[in-house]
Amino acid sequence: MENNENLIPARMLNEFAYCPRLCYLEWIDAEFVDNADTVDGRFQHRQVDANADPVPEEEAVHARSVFLTGEKVGLTCRIDLLEGDGKKVTPVDYKRGEAPDIPVGAYEPDRVQLCAQGLVLRENGFDCQEGSIYFVRSKKRVPVVFDKALVKRTRELISDLRKVAEKRQIPPPLEESPKCNRCSLAGICLPDEVNLLKEMESKREPKGIIRRLLPARDDATPVYVVGQGHSIRKKGDRLEIWSKGGKTSEARLREISQLNLYGNVEITTPAAVDLMQRGVPVLHFSHGGWFRGISAGHTHKNVELRIRQFQWAADRKKSLSIARLLISGKIKNCRTQVRRNDPEQSAKALETLEKLSKDARNASSIEKLLGIEGAAAEAYFARLDSLLKSDQGFTFQNRNRRPPKDPVNAVLSYLYAILAKEMFVTLLAVGFDPYLGFYHQPRYGRPALALDMMEEFRPIIADATAITLFNKGELSEKDFIKTGIGVSLTPKAKKKVIGGYERSIGAEITHPLFGYTVSYRRILEVQARLLSRILTGEIREYPAFLRR
């Protein structure tokens, strides 16, 4: 029985020659994101498979889309087009772009990939001395001779790639390389961000500006369905939302990033399956807003990251090193919230929060860190009432929950649940296990890592949203239901809170460390990816997001 587990795909050799880090992300970490170039590339290859190739008719065509393995050379390859007569063959590789104007006719990564195909063909008994690269856009065929120098270079890259794979250490990012500008994985790789953080840790002078290589915001947006008795159906390329009175709204499937269902909401199997195939998670909440679970397709394939996550979580010292920075960042953001919005500007509260933030960075144990966080929460929430405009008729005495005793706490709890959901989805997309954290301890059903990572964002996203909703009069007494045990939100109020949250999370701000403009939702992803770089050893300290 053939074992292809240790064989290298020839296309990965192309990636490795082009950028070792890109190859590692795709082959070892199983990361992939489409852009216009990758989609067009797949289209061009489908044209080859469908016999729509523009190779001159006089050329002999033997086979298309040929898959071969070479156990000795350690490669697998898929040959777009194989020409020849008997045992003498020529592989033809299709490239979507234009032929480069250079003496050898093609760049090294493409020549290496083609040579790798030649080595596999030789191992399988064929006489293969050269190949061709056909550039679709310029309709030009470039011959590539498999001379000693190219074969030697190809074998060297095979050996180097195998060593990188065995070592399981991600190669460093390129520095100020124009290759990053069109790379579909730039938002995952974060080359400039990682380089800057490494320079800061080594106290070196930063070399250049930080390019915003990731989109400022996601084109797809979350869909929320709030209220009992709703149902979700699929019709063509759309999701339809129905209630007892008929269809209430609809959304294009390709424009949905996540589907959030609150209460007793039904979803049909065709709709659920289509969302799974698109990688769109369906999140389930109780009527009161508690996160119950998620329906998703295949989870992220980055097993290596989850192995490292479990190793770090089992090490109290390593866990503490991350937890300290998360909580210190949270306290600093609490202080910023008070400084920016408290009209009385309590000097004592600011001094207390500043001191506790420093104490958090130096906490000697998780237990002491919990005490520091508790003291900071007391100092922060003592000022929250001052952030609320008195003419709106709402006050805040202290933080309470399960159930919340007043409207402000009801809104805060609802927003914290939404933010936890947001972080859960983000961590899952990056490759983490959201249930295993470094600060919050594991407990059945608790998304500990999501709770860890949302700490620094509680004051600047959730609390800020709540304050805005109350101060702008978007919420009134009619939006709350008061019972003997607590206060809850009406369905209409929940929609208002969700709307306020989406405005906040979608708002674009200037990143205080990297200098580019992105949305808060994108920042959550950046922070999760930077956390992964801590676990892989690329950077030493987690850079908490600190609002200025």
Question: Are 182 and 267 part of one and the same domain?
Answer: no
Structure tokens at 341: 């919005």
- Cα 52 from Cα 334, distance rounded (Å): 61
* Mean pLDDT value of segment 3-12: 78
Q: Does 324 or 243 have the greater pLDDT score?
A: 324
Does residue 247 lie within any of the structural domains?
Answer: yes
Domain with residue 139: its CATH number is 3.90.320.10
Q: What is the DSSP string of 106-129?
A: S-HHHHHHHHHHHHHHHHTT-B--
Question: Are 446 and 384 part of one and the same domain?
Answer: yes
End residue of a domain, out of 266, 295, 324: 295
Structure tokens at 303: 């097993």
At position 485, the amino acid (one-letter code) is I
Question: Are 457 and 477 part of one and the same domain?
Answer: yes
* Mean pLDDT value of segment 103-128: 95
Chain segment 163-192, per-residue pLDDT in tens: 998 988 899 999 989 999 989 899 999 999
* pLDDT in the model for residue 448: 94
Does residue 380 lie within any of the structural domains?
Answer: yes
Domain with residue 285: its CATH number is 3.100.10.20
Backbone angles phi, psi at 497, to 5 degrees: -65, -45
> Is 119 in contact with 154 (CB distance < 8 Å)?
yes
Chain segment 453-465, per-residue pLDDT in tens: 999 999 999 999 9
CA quadruple 295, 300, 303, 306: dihedral positive or negative? negative
Domain range for 176 is 172-214
- Cα 193 from Cα 143, distance rounded (Å): 40
Question: Are 145 and 202 part of one and the same domain?
Answer: no
Total of domains in the chain: 4
Does residue 47 lie within any of the structural domains?
Answer: yes
Chain segment 369-413, per-residue pLDDT in tens: 999 999 999 999 999 989 988 777 888 888 888 889 999 999 999
* pLDDT in the model for residue 456: 95
* pLDDT in the model for residue 513: 92
- Cα 443 from Cα 392, distance rounded (Å): 40
**pLDDT band at residue 477 using 50, 70 and 90 as cut-offs:** very high
Q: Whole-prediction pTM value?
A: 0.86
Does residue 273 lie within any of the structural domains?
Answer: yes
Chain segment 83-98, per-residue pLDDT in tens: 988 889 999 999 988 9
Does residue 99 lie within any of the structural domains?
Answer: yes
> Is 413 in contact with 404 (CB distance < 8 Å)?
yes
